Amino acid sequence: MTTTGSKDQVLIFDTTLRDGEQSPGASMTLEEKLQVAELLDDMGVDIIEAGFPIASNGDFESVREIAKRSKRSVIAGLARAIHADIDRCGEAVRHAERGRIHTFVSTSPIHLKYQMNKTEDEVLAIITDTVTRARNLIDDVEWSAMDATRTPIEYLCRTVEAAIKAGATTINLPDTVGYATPDEYRDMFAQIRARVPNADKAIFSVHCHNDLGLAVANSLAGVAGGARQIECTINGLGERAGNAALEEIVMAIRTRSDIYPYGCNVEPKFLTRASKLVSAVSNFPVQYNKAIVGKNAFAHESGIHQDGMLKNAETYEIMRPEDVGVKATSLVMGKHSGRHAFKDKLKELGYELGDNALQEAFRRFKDLADRKKNVYDEDIEALVEDEISTSGE
Ligand code: KIV
Ligand code: ZN
């Protein structure tokens, strides 16, 4: 198991450029992918899944280019359990200082019946064959059991055992359809690690989709069950409701180190920049109330909260905005704002009013905020100038 100092290390595997790009409408150009990969590498992401090389010549080229330029991240490419996929992927990632082939096959009864039309034993043979082929090309091979969370545990154990025996160094057990709950997901990892011979030879990985809004909670639960790699995307971009959001995972580990005592190489001050870049290149806006990187994540409007924030930021903030690359908390002036925040805003704008003028300006500000959705600094300036000229202050 990887450790830093006295802490277990959790590896961050970013799949924005592969699973994230699979969101309808999110495809990126080569130039855009290179920009994202460079930032992920700079921010300390351990493994970057750069694409699916067999999918198109463009995908192959972007994985190869990212592999060539990588500085410290491992560069992974995805491959189905097909020789041609694995060979093409090996060809793309071999340019990296440290490359990885990530190959997968479905294991659940519903996928075996409708998608693959194969028996359990046939799939076991495919795992042995394809993982062996990948290992003949490269030392770092990840194997994923697609739809692991809907696979009976006995069979899942047999598939994991086969993959480790054939040389897989990372075993990923995805919640492909976002069906698991945190308790189930944690128990699945704990059971597999206890039951599969040689389980300690591989690093276990979580990969969670957000169909029930549980992707981040499930990822952290999987780590509690013994996984030490988390697959996630910037802004939670990904198929359907998306993947677990990298920024939420990194900040949960950092903010609640009492509960999640793990080392993590990602430098949080890059999170806001990464979110903006991925939003721009994927054309997916970030919801205002998105945890960590949403426009309102460090904004306060209510009088009670603003008053608390002006006295001590820890009253209503559990993270410091500058830690994630946001300049400062914003106290948004609106109809819920109180006198304390209003006075503070006037000071920031360069006004100091006497008690009566302040009282009247505050009353007029509240009337304005009732009529207007957004009250800007210019609105407040105009109102105060008017108040000064009528009151003669
Ligand atoms: O969700 C999933 O199962 C995947 C695999 C390809 C790892 O994305
Ligand atoms: Zn996925």
pLDDT single digits (tens) 153-180: 999 999 999 999 999 999 999 999 999 9
Residue 19 annotated in ligand binding: yes
Cβ–ligand 1 distance for 19 under 6 Å, the answer yes
Q: Name the pLDDT band for 374 (thresholds 50, 70, 90).
A: confident
pLDDT single digits (tens) 278-337: 999 999 999 999 999 999 999 999 999 999 999 999 999 999 999 999 999 999 999 999
From the alpha carbon of 146, which atom of ligand 1 is closest?
3
- Residues of the chain with pLDDT > 70: what percent? 98
Closest-lying ligand to the alpha carbon of 238?
2
Residue-level length of the chain: 393
From the alpha carbon of 104, which atom of ligand 1 is closest?
6
pLDDT single digits (tens) 62-114: 999 999 999 999 999 999 999 999 999 999 999 999 999 999 999 999 999 99
pLDDT at 393: 65
Cβ–ligand 1 distance for 104 under 6 Å, the answer yes
Cβ–ligand 1 distance for 298 under 6 Å, the answer no
Q: How far apart are CA 378 and CA 33, in angstroms?
A: 39
From the alpha carbon of 243, which atom of ligand 1 is closest?
1
pLDDT single digits (tens) 191-205: 999 999 999 999 999
From the alpha carbon of 174, which atom of ligand 1 is closest?
3
pLDDT average, residue stretch 1-5: 45
Average pLDDT, the chain: 96
The pTM score is: 0.94
pLDDT single digits (tens) 15-43: 999 999 999 999 999 999 999 999 999 99
Cβ–ligand 1 distance for 207 under 6 Å, the answer yes
The Å distance, Cα 44 to ligand 2 centre, comes to 22
Residue 243 annotated in ligand binding: yes
pLDDT at 4: 45
pLDDT at 6: 60
User: At 283, phi and psi to the nearest 5?
Assistant: 65, 25
pLDDT at 187: 98
- Residues of the chain with pLDDT > 90: what percent? 96
Classify the complex by whether its ipTM is higher than 0.90, answering yes or no. Answer: yes
pLDDT at 296: 95
Nearest CA to ligand 1 atom 8: 19
pLDDT at 132: 98
Cβ–ligand 1 distance for 77 under 6 Å, the answer no
